[in-house]
């Protein structure tokens, strides 16, 4: 994955072979799938959960089937999410559950809802049906006292996701933060949105659940803005994203009495900055309201060291049938392939460590 050309060629051929129904499942399962996923079912993730637990790292089971949009897949996803909530309730090493709205809503409806004209009458029934599923999921999380992340997605549907999530938060976060919204700090408007959300939660006396990330859909966002000729909602340069991420993190820390937050990042500087600020303010490492999270297969150096130092750490552990988690795996492959990507950084760290041991 350190080689850009190989990732491009590899993803092209995997897509082609899957389309042609070539028997490559075994090959995928023993390579890229094994690196980034826990298994095809919750049961198959058992070993990963236990292994992470040995390093004092929690697991966040992430049913990562994407791109299927029919009633059958919505029902399957709903049942799977309910199972992960139940599993988190039973297992101390699973501190959160997570899901994506597009797993239970048609993306088209989420998009239509946030347009100026709003939802058409003929789509209201289908939207309400998905909203009932959402309510059922949040209700179970609330009943079982399991904290629930709602992932952030593309900007053209995120407005609807925010609206729905705040509605759930106002309802279920009265005593503590159960429902968490995700804030993508690569968006120019997101730092203000976050500050506003903190103010509203204070004013309306509920707890704000925050997952802070930089954002995973950079290329897709830019391409769409270019094709449809509107101005990009994202920062132009990475350092602006970094600045807003760190500032957002500090804003959450400053409101820790009513904000429960998790930084989902592989960025060493952001993680270090948060630990330093916590030390300055004499906040205990394992404060209930502060979590660090990384993705399985990435940045173990950060996860294991933070956990060993007593901070709350968890890993997203994606799972699902091999063919259905491919969009997730392609995103990881692309994210890790660039020159500044995570794999290069980790590869260099590993090489240095090998050298150090040889010379020791």
Ligand X SMILES: Cc1cc2nc3c(=O)[nH]c(=O)nc-3n(C[C@H](O)[C@H](O)[C@H](O)COP(=O)(O)OP(=O)(O)OC[C@H]3O[C@@H](n4cnc5c(N)ncnc54)[C@H](O)[C@@H]3O)c2cc1C
Chain residues that interact with ligand X, rule: CB under 6 A? 151-152, 182, 184, 186, 213-218, 234-235, 237-238, 241, 264-267, 293-295, 316
Task: Return the number of the residue (236 or 358) whose C-beta is nearest ligand X.
Answer: 236
Please state the closest distance from residue 317 (CB atom) to ligand X, in A.
10
Please state the closest distance from residue 269 (CB atom) to ligand X, in A.
8
Burial of 116 (0-12, 13-18, 19+ CB in 10 A): exposed
Please state the closest distance from residue 123 (CB atom) to ligand X, in A.
25
Burial of 239 (0-12, 13-18, 19+ CB in 10 A): exposed
Task: Return the number of the residue (71 or 268) whose C-beta is nearest ligand X.
Answer: 268
Q: Which residue(s) pair with 292 in the sheet?
A: 263, 313
Please state the closest distance from residue 203 (CB atom) to ligand X, in A.
26
Closest by Cα among 323, 268, 302 to 32: 323
CA 294 to each of CA 212, 286, 299, 310, 342: distance values in angstroms, whole numbers, following the listed order = 12, 17, 7, 16, 12
Please state the closest distance from residue 7 (CB atom) to ligand X, in A.
16
Task: Return the number of the residue (18 or 191) whose C-beta is nearest ligand X.
Answer: 191
d(CA 277, CA 10): 42
Please state the closest distance from residue 359 (CB atom) to ligand X, in A.
30
Task: Return the number of the residue (95 or 203) whose C-beta is nearest ligand X.
Answer: 95
DSSP H stretches of helix in 228-324: 238-254, 268-280, 300-308
Phi-psi region of 184 (alpha: psi -120 to 50; beta: other; left: phi over 0): beta
Residue corresponding to tokens 């704000």 = 208
Please state the closest distance from residue 263 (CB atom) to ligand X, in A.
8
* Cβ-proximal residue to ligand X, closest one: 264
Task: Return the number of the residue (267 or 312) whose C-beta is nearest ligand X.
Answer: 267
Task: Return the number of the residue (78 or 315) whose C-beta is nearest ligand X.
Answer: 315
Closest by Cα among 236, 301, 240, 309 to 274: 309
Task: Return the number of the residue (39 or 297) whose C-beta is nearest ligand X.
Answer: 297
Q: How far is CA 214 from the centre of its chain?
A: 10
Q: Which residue(s) pair with 59 in the sheet?
A: 315
CB 327 within 8 A of CB 100: no
């Amino acid at each position: 994955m350190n080689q850009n050309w190989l990732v491009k060629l590899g993803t092209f051929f995997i897509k082609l072979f899957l389309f042609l129904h070539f028997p490559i499942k075994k090959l995928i399962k023993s390579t890229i799938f094994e690196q980034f996923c826990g298994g095809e079912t919750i049961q198959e993730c058992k070993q990963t959960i236990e292994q992470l637990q040995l390093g004092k790292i929690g697991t966040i089971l992430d049913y990562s089937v994407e791109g299927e949009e029919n009633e059958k897949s919505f029902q399957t996803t709903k049942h799977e999410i309910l199972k992960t909530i139940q599993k988190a309730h039973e297992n101390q090493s699973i501190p959160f559950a997570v899901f994506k709205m597009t797993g239970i809503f048609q993306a088209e409806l989420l998009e239509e809802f946030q347009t100026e004209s709003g939802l058409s009458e003929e789509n209201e029934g289908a939207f309400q049906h998905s909203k009932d599923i959402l309510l059922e999921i949040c209700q179970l999380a609330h009943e079982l006292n399991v904290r629930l992340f709602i992932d952030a997605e593309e900007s053209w549907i995120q407005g609807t996701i925010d609206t729905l999530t705040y509605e759930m938060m106002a309802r279920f976060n009265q005593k503590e933060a159960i429902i968490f919204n995700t804030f993508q700090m690569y968006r120019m408007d997101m730092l203000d949105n976050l500050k506003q959300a903190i103010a509203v939660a204070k004013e309306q006396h509920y707890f704000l659940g925050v997952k802070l990330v930089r954002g995973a859909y950079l290329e897709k966002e830019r391409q769409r803005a270019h094709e449809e000729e509107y101005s990009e909602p994202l920062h132009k340069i990475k350092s602006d994203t970094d600045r807003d991420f760190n500032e957002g993190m500090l804003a959450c820390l400053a409101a820790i009495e009513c904000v429960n937050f998790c930084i989902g990042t592989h960025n060493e500087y952001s993680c270090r900055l948060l630990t330093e600020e916590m030390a300055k303010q004499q906040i205990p490492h394992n404060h209930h309201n502060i979590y660090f999270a990384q993705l399985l297969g990435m940045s173990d150096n950060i996860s294991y060291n933070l956990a060993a130092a007593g901070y709350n750490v968890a890993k997203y552990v994606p799972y699902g049938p091999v063919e259905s988690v491919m969009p997730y795996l392609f995103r990881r492959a692309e994210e890790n392939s660039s020159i500044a990507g995570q794999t290069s950084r980790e590869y260099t760290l590993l090489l240095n460590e090998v050298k150090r041991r040889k010379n020791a």
